[in-house]
Amino acid sequence: MAVVTSDVHDIFSSIANKYDSLNSILTLNIDKIWRKKAIKICKLEEKHKVLDLCCGTGQMVDYACKAVGKNTEVIGLDFNEEMINVGYKRLNQSVKDYKYKLIKGDVMELPFEDNTFDCITIAFGLRNVPDKRKALLEMYRVLRPGGSLVCLELSKSGIPILKSIYDLYFNHMLPLIGYLGTRDKKAYYYLRDSVNSFMTKTQLKLEFDHCGFKNTDYISLTCGTASIHYGNK
């Protein structure tokens, strides 16, 4: 069953305070390894302007700050104010001496000039965007020529036996664990359904190509249960 945007907003509001801890539990803490690998692929340097979209509680902003140094501001954007508030709390502890800013905004209508950023990251967020092509075109617009987009997303394993185990866990156990952690069953059924209905790795690569990105490719992680997609303007 499709979930409208306002419902998605309410779901993330309801889980904001437990989002980080539940991610760690549900992925056996592997999500942190995936995020760090995505940041490495960005090949960030000092003074690179970085934008993290669907920034949530600021985990990617944290890693990006440490990559670009204390003199360069990293910007995070999310549509949910509760997630941003939690993000500020955690960033004020983990990278309090770095420069960062979290703003509320729409990924499909980015409030930035053309050719602004050297790198854009988006982790576990693209599947939540209603019009994914429009969002990708906006990312392309605000990237500088030569800039890179790095997208980390959950995906499905192509290995039959692992796919069966993963499907059992993801479709049945994950919603139950999520409910026990938040008492919000809808939130984690939405997570399951959003991944099941999302593009395949090949389809997402083709979407990058369609939107004008060059040198596109992807890396499968943990037997294909997640993937990092990337491309350049």
Please count the structural domains in the chain: 1
For residue 144, being part of any structural domain is answered with yes
Question: What local confidence, expressed as pLDDT, does residue 102 receive?
Answer: 98
What is the mean pLDDT of the segment spanning 145-172? 77
The pLDDT tens digits of the residues spanning 13-72 come to: 777 787 787 777 767 789 999 999 999 999 999 999 999 999 999 999 999 999 999 999
84 and 16 in contact (C-beta within 8 Å)? no
CA 94, CA 82: separation in Å to the nearest integer? 19
pLDDT-derived band at 166, boundaries 50, 70, 90: low
- Rg, Å, the chain Cα set: 17
* pLDDT on residue 63: 98
The pLDDT value recorded for residue 4 is: 44
Residue 14 is assigned to a structural domain of this protein: no
DSSP-assigned beta bridge partners for residue 217: 230
- Predicted confidence band at 3 (pLDDT cuts at 50, 70, 90)? very low
Residue 178 inside a domain? The answer is: no
Number of residues that this document lists for the chain? 233
User: Token digits for 18?
Assistant: 């437990």
Tens digits of residue pLDDT in 101-146: 999 999 999 999 999 999 999 999 999 999 999 999 999 999 999 9
* Beta strands per DSSP E along the chain: 50-53, 74-78, 100-104, 117-123, 143-154, 214-221, 226-232
Provide the token pair at 48. Answer: 């690179």
- Vertex 199 angle, CA 197 and 202, to 5°: 150
CATH number at residue 69: 3.40.50.150
Evaluate whether residue 169 is within a structural domain: no
Q: For residue 100, what are the domain limits?
A: 5-9+28-156+200-232
Q: Name the nearest CA neighbour of 16 among 81, 64, 74.
A: 81
Name which residue leads in pLDDT, 193 or 65: 65
What global pTM score does this model have? 0.89
pLDDT over 90 percentage in the chain: 66
